[in-house]
Structures are given as C-alpha cells and as structure tokens.
C-alpha cells in the first residue's frame, strides 16, 4: 500500500504527463497563393517532363562540356559561400538538438563546504558556535511541457534547420549558375578572339595588296592609310578582349576556391551548344526552388514561435529532485546515516510583467506575417524570373535567325566588294566598309549565342535547378526542322 504522503505527488506527476501533449498556438498551414496553370511566355512550347521519369542528367551536363562539368563539381569543394552556408546548416542542426534536450530531465552534481555560526532561531538567544558542513549531492529537474512550449520551440528550430538546408541548396545553385555563365562568357570570348584573328589575317593580306597597288600607282596613299586603320583597329579589339578573359578566368577561380593568379583555363576551338530548354509546370516551381522552400520553412518556424509566446501566459511545472550526503566533516560523509533526499513539483507563473508577454506575442505574430509576405514575394519573384528568361530565349532565338541572314548577306557583300576592288572599280573604302560590316555581323552572332547560353543557365536556376527534359522542342526549332 502506498504511503499517504506520496499519493499527491504521484497524482501530480501523472496529471502532468497526461497534459504534456497539449500544444498552444496555430498549426502550420502553407500560405495560400494563386498559381497560374502555365507560364505565359511558354505558350507554344511543349511541356517538360520531370527527369526522374526520363533522365538523371543534372542540368549543367546538358551543355555537353566536360570542363564545365568538372568546374561545377568543384564548387561544392572549394566555394567559400557554399562553405559558409554549410556551416550555418550545421549550426542550425545544433540549435535543434539544444531544443530537443529540453524534453529530457537535467542532471547535475555538486559538492560544497559551508561554515556558519549564529543563533538557532529568530526568537532564540542561544548562540551556536561555528561549524562546518560538507555536502555532496546530485540534483535533477524536469520541466513538464504542459502547454507545448518545448514542442513548439523544437518545431521552430526544425523549421529553421530546414530553411538553412534550403539556403545551402540555394547558395550552391547560385554559385553553380554564376560559374556556368562566367564559363560560357569565357568561351564566347575565345570564339571572338578566333574570329578577330581570322579577320586580322585577312586584313593584313588586304593591306599588303593595297601597299603593292599603291607602289604600282594604281591606288593612292589614302587607300593604304584606310587599310592600315582597318587592320590596327581590329588588332586593338583583339587585345582588348584579353581584359575580359582575364577577369572571367579570375572569377571562375574564385568560384571554385582557387587562387586566381595560379589558375589557368586553356582555350578550345569549340563553343558549348545550346540545349533544349526546360519549361515545366508552374506548380512544380514551389517544390523545386530552394529559396521558396527556405521561405516556407521560415513561415513554419515563425508560426511555431506564436505557440511559444502563447505558452508564456500559463504556469510552468517543474519536477525537481535532489539527493546526497551531508555531514559536519569529511569523515564518514558517504554513509547511509548521513544521506538526504528531496522530491517535488514546483509551479511558477508570472502574475505581472508590464505587458511583456503580450508584446512578445504581438511580435511573434508580426514576424509570422513578415515571413508570409516574404514567402509570397519569393514565389512571385520566381514566376517573374521564369517568365523573363523564357521570353529572353524565345526572342533571342528569333533574333538569331534574322542575324544569321544578316551575317550571310554581310559575308557576300565583303566577297563582292573585294572582287570589285581587285577589278579596280571601287576604292578601298568600300572594302573597309564591307569588312567592318562582315566582322560586326559575325561578332553580333557570337554575342547572341552568349546571351542565349546565359539566359539558358538563368532559366535552369529560376526553375530551381531541377532535372527537366523537354518532351519536345521550341516552335522555332520545329519550324526550322520542317523547312
């Protein structure tokens, strides 16, 4: 039969544990937002299919460049922005573990030596001589989560951890996209350099022909000066490209964690090809973008903090226990007659705080509203970025088709003008004009390809870097293939 003294204590403990599942505050619901049925700028594009049903190729591998693939993989290893995000994730994981620890009892040990003297009581005149008390004890306390404060704190920490994981993915994707864009610009720069070198070779030949014709009295010195101006201008343009290439090379080194002064990228004779572009379904954007996932998890964390703030209005129940040994000296301290113990619950409730708890709750609600607005803004920004890059790719593809015609016409104009110059029917000014037009058309075509590659990377980033493969092709390519 239980002692009458222990029944109230056991009853209190049982009641506390039974109430421990109560959690104050609203449960998390993803904020509502209107999602369009399709991307407007994707009209006429065939829909993409999730790659887990078609292909496991990561987005940067679709460009078919082994050097790019190697650089992107090195982002995870050497990029310091990614390293910072990874460290932040580990810190968030530690915070979650700290929050979870509050669910368990705490246990501590202590030892002390106290010397005291004085009267035995407030009304006594008996003076006790000084004495020393030695004490060793174990102390334990356990807060019963009656109102779900600890549970909501853990929920908030878990939301922060998930947001940190999404931040890490977003940092990785951002660095990968920046790297890919820098790499494509560098390869376009190399192609521009090859184009200018071919133009310089042709213009040197033209200069030599003009020099010989001037010596023969066929043309004037003005023609020779025009030929030299054309040649030196193109040589200066070729030299100027070196500035951009050096900066791009240094940027790539930074992105993969290399020392820029010790990093070199060899030139190649090819430019990465533009792959079929992903389109996808708008609803998948909410699942694939890490920044949207991070914003949603921050909403969940802020929602849990409302419950933490509400729990502060209710009393805290803590079970405390202690036990050990106490004696007037170290001799025979750890013996059964000198033992002591205590066990019991304690209830604490703040009766007046000047409105601090109400203000804390209002702050938690305001923070929640802020994160909801941030989440919706992230979604709207994502849709804008996708629409922007879809429009850019569509328009640039149309422009590239027209520019290809202009390039062919400029090349033919240069060929015809050279023939007329050799026949003596036009001056070298006509040749210089034709060469400038041809070179400009070639460089514009390369610039357009670079802009397409950049927009393609931006689209992959805007879609969250998910694996998507087209079930079809763009309308322009379909028309081109049918001709």
Tell me the CATH number at 35.
1.20.1600.10
Q: Give the C-alpha separation, 254 to 264, whole Å.
A: 12
Q: How many domains does the chain have?
A: 1
pLDDT of residue 476: 36
List Cα–Cα distances, 439 to 204, 448, 480, in angstroms.
15, 14, 25
Phi/psi for 342 (5° steps) reads -150, 150
Q: For residue 429, count other CB atoms closer than 10 A to its CB.
A: 15
Cα–Cα separations (whole angstroms), residue 267 to 66, 188, 192, 280: 14, 11, 12, 35
Predicted confidence at residue 120, as pLDDT, reads: 55
What are the mean pLDDT values of the chain's consecutive 10-residue runs (483 residues total)? 48 49 83 84 56 59 93 94 94 93 90 71 62 84 89 94 94 96 97 96 94 91 93 96 97 96 92 79 77 94 95 91 84 80 88 92 96 95 92 93 96 93 89 92 96 94 66 35 32
What is d(CA 29, CA 307) in angstroms, rounded to the nearest whole number? 14
Return the pLDDT at 68: 95
For residue 406, the enclosing domain spans 19-103+152-313+367-482
Tell me, yes or no, whether 374 lies in a domain.
Answer: yes
138 assigned to some structural domain? no
Predicted confidence at residue 253, as pLDDT, reads: 97
> What is the pLDDT at residue 278?
67
Is residue 156 assigned to a domain?
Answer: yes
* Residue 179 counted as domain residue: yes
Global model pTM greater than 0.75: yes
Residue 360 counted as domain residue: no
Instruction: Give a yes or no: residue 272 inside a domain.
Output: yes
Residue 412 within a domain: yes
Greatest distance between any 2 Cα atoms in the chain:
136
| Angle subtended by helix axes 149-215 and 290-311, to nearest 10 | 160
Residue 124 falls inside a structural domain: no
């Amino acid at each position: 039969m239980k002692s009458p003294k222990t029944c109230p204590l056991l009853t209190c403990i049982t009641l506390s544990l039974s109430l421990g599942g109560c959690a104050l505050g609203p449960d998390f619901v993803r904020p509502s937002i209107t999602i369009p049925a399709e991307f407007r700028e994707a009209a006429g594009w065939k829909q993409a299919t999730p790659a887990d049903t078609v292909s496991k190729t990561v987005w940067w591998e679709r460009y078919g460049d082994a050097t790019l693939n190697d650089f992107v993989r090195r982002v995870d290893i050497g990029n310091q922005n990614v390293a910072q995000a990874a460290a932040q994730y580990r810190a968030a994981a530690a915070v979650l573990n700290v929050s979870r620890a509050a669910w368990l009892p705490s246990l501590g040990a202590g030892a002390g030596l106290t010397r005291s003297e004085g009267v035995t009581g407030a009304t006594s005149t008996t003076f006790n001589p000084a004495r020393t008390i030695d004490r060793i004890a174990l102390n334990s306390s356990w807060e019963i989560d009656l109102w779900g404060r600890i549970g909501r704190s853990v929920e908030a920490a878990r939301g922060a951890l998930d947001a940190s994981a999404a931040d890490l993915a977003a940092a990785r994707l951002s660095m990968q996209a920046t790297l890919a864009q820098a790499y494509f610009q560098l390869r376009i720069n190399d192609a521009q350099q090859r184009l200018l070198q071919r133009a310089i070779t042709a213009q040197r030949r033209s200069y030599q022909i003009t020099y010989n014709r001037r010596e023969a009295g066929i043309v004037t010195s003005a023609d020779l000066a025009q030929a030299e101006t054309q040649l030196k201008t193109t040589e200066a343009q070729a030299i100027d490209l070196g500035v951009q290439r050096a900066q791009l090379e240094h940027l790539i080194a930074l992105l993969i964690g290399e020392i820029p002064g010790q990093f070199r990228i060899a030139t190649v004779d090819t430019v990465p090809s533009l792959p079929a572009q992903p389109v996808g379904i708008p609803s998948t954007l909410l699942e694939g973008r890490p920044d949207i996932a991070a914003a949603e998890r921050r909403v969940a964390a802020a929602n849990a903090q409302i419950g933490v703030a509400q729990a502060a209005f209710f009393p805290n129940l803590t079970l405390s226990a202690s036990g050990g040994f106490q004696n007037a000296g170290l001799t025979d301290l750890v013996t059964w007659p000198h033992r002591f113990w205590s066990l019991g619950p304690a209830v604490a409730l703040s009766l007046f705080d000047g409105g601090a708890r109400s203000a804390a709750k209002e702050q938690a609600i305001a923070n929640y509203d802020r994160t909801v607005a941030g989440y919706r803004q992230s979604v709207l920004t994502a849709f804008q970025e996708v629409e922007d890059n879809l429009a850019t790719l569509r328009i640039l593809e149309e422009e590239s088709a027209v520019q290809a015609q202009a390039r062919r016409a400029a090349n033919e104009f240069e060929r015809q003008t050279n023939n007329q110059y050799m026949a003596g029917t036009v001056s070298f000014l006509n040749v210089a004009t034709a060469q400038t037009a041809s070179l400009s058309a070639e460089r514009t075509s390369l610039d357009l390809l670079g802009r397409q590659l950049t927009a393609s990377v931006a689209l992959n980033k805007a879609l969250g870097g998910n694996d998507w493969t087209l079930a079809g092709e763009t309308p322009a390519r379909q028309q081109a293939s049918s001709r």
